[in-house]
A = this chain, B = another copy of it.
Amino acid sequence: MKPPSPPEAHLEAWRRYYVSFWRIFAAIEADLQAAGLPSLSWYDALYELYLAPGRHLRMSALARSALLSRSGLTRLVDRLEQEKLIERKSCPKDGRVQHAMLTDRGVETLRKIWPVYRAGIAKYFAAHLTEAEAKEFARVVGKIAAAMQPAQSGDTAGASCKPAR
């Protein structure tokens, strides 16, 4: 019973995946910072709320969507609330639960970030793919993302890991 050993093509694919992701990510973050805008962490959280029905989610659900630990999310929500981009709402049905709710100011911020983010995606990612390549890429990566679905549970369970800046 040796550990599964991916064939060479798969390893090379991973290596390039890894490197290109970090580079694109760093480049987009740099663009956002240069434009005086918040980082992708903020965007991710705000956008998940924007998509949610009623523009609010409970903390733990948001943590999963935003790929953060519960404690990481608490702090992120602290910062977002300080900037008045979201509001905390206690749940009347369950006293333990807090909901994060997107404010109008939050929506406005999303709208400011998106053009820069979109331009970054175009420049650093999309520019290198034909339409057909993008479709095939989306299909394959979709399989991976779908398979990794849960990864949830508490602080623990490695549900997390986001960059510092």
Give A contacts to B, CB under 8 Å.
3-7, 9-14, 16-17, 19-27, 29-31, 33, 67, 115, 118-119, 121-129, 131, 133-138, 140-145, 147-148, 151, 157-165
Report how many copies the assembly holds: 2
Q: Which residues of B contact A16 (CB under 8 A)?
A: 138, 141-142, 144-145
Q: Which residues of B contact A135 (CB under 8 A)?
A: 9, 13
A interface SS class: helix
Do the beta carbons of A158 and B67 come within 8 Å of each other? no
CB-CB under 8 A for A11 and B148, given A20-B141, A158-B29, A161-B165: no
Q: Which of B24, B115, B138, B164 contacts A9 (CB 8 A)?
A: B138
